[in-house]
Structure 1
Amino acid sequence: MSRIDRASRAIAAPPATVYDALLDRAALEAWLPPEGMRGRIDRWDPRPGGGFRMVLTYLDPTDSPGKTSDATDVVDVGFAELARPARVVQTAVFQADDPAYAGTMTMTWHLAAAGDGTEVTVTATGVPPGIDQAVHEEGIASSLANLASHVERGA
């Protein structure tokens, strides 16, 4: 069976608000980098078939060296599917010389109405074998916590 990395979180904002945060450049730069990182989007094309390039910089690369350089991960993300307000499917390719990080990872963001809020579930398939599953799931959970904090402030 192929590996599936997953994390979910209830967010106190409606699905449309959460969806909008998945497709807003400034919002993504603010909430997508997990704890211990900051992010910058270099290229932005928010449409099916479009995507973005994000440069993630480790605040302390000592324990977590980058995939692209000693302190960075550069990832090219494509928007494979945009189904407002229920789902965003992204493809992600890391720029790395190490073949353990090669390949295309698919990240699916499922948004389901749950009372006055949204249950957000992220599943990742095709995860490069160099990415530790527990660390990846912790990173997804951290991004979800950042997303919740970002959209709940505006709700």
Structure 2
Amino acid sequence: MSRTDRASRVIAAPPATVYGALLDRESLETWLPPDGMRGRIERWDPRPGGGFRMVLTYLDASDSPGKTSDATDVVDVAFADLVPPERVVQRAVFEADDPSFAGTMTMTWHLAAAGEGTEVTVTATDVPPGIDQAAHEAGIASSLANLAAYVETVG
């Protein structure tokens, strides 16, 4: 059975600013890694059909083993749909030997004007069963908090 994880947050920035941070390489490297990780983008092609490859490194891998290696998660992300400034749909595949992390997870970032800000809702569908749901939703919430801090200070 496929699983859906989600999180949302209102960010004090207009949808166009938030959308821009979803499609800017340096921005993504800054805010996308959840707390306890850092990220590096190895490949970048921000267009429908394009995508990116990100290496996420755990700052302390002792209690959070990675999917690709003891200290890393490597994910290949394809941009399935880009609708400025409303939606970004990504298809993510983790590099992992463990079959419980196999498959393509779809991440939909939906942006809706909310007063002076933007409500960002992230919905992850077909989440691989090896990914703990509570940890995944906390990770998405952490990335959203990082996104808010990023666009609210630079926007």
TM value normalised by structure 2: 0.99
C-alpha deviation, 1:45, in angstroms: 0.2
CA distance in 1, matches of 2:45, 2:78: 9
Percent of matched pairs sharing the same residue: 82
The residue that corresponds to 1:38 in the other structure is: 38
Q: Spell out structure 1 runs of 4+ moving beyond 4 A.
A: none
Whole-Å separation in 2 of the counterparts to 1:154 and 1:2: 37
Gaps of 5+ in 2: none
Q: What is the distance in 2 between the residues matched to 1:61 and 1:2?
A: 28
Give the TM-score of the pair, scaled to structure 1.
0.99
Partner of 2:150: 150
Q: Determine the structure 1 residue equivalent to 2:130.
A: 130
- Superposed CA offset, 1:77-127 (max 9, x none): 000000000000000000000000000000000000001100000000010
* Deviation per residue, 1:51-87 (Å, 9 max, x gap): 0000000000000000000100000000000000000
- Cα offset for 1:2? 3.3
Aligned residue for 2:54?
54
CA RMSD of aligned residues (A): 0.7
2:128 and 2:4 mapped to 1: Cα distance?
11
Q: Secondary structure at the match of 1:35?
A: coil
Question: Which structure 1 segments of 5+ residues have no match?
Answer: none
Q: CA deviation at 1:31?
A: 0.1
2:73 is matched with which residue?
A: 73
In structure 2, C-alpha distance between the alignment counterparts of 1:58 and 1:8, rounded to whole Å:
24
- Residue aligning to 1:19: 19
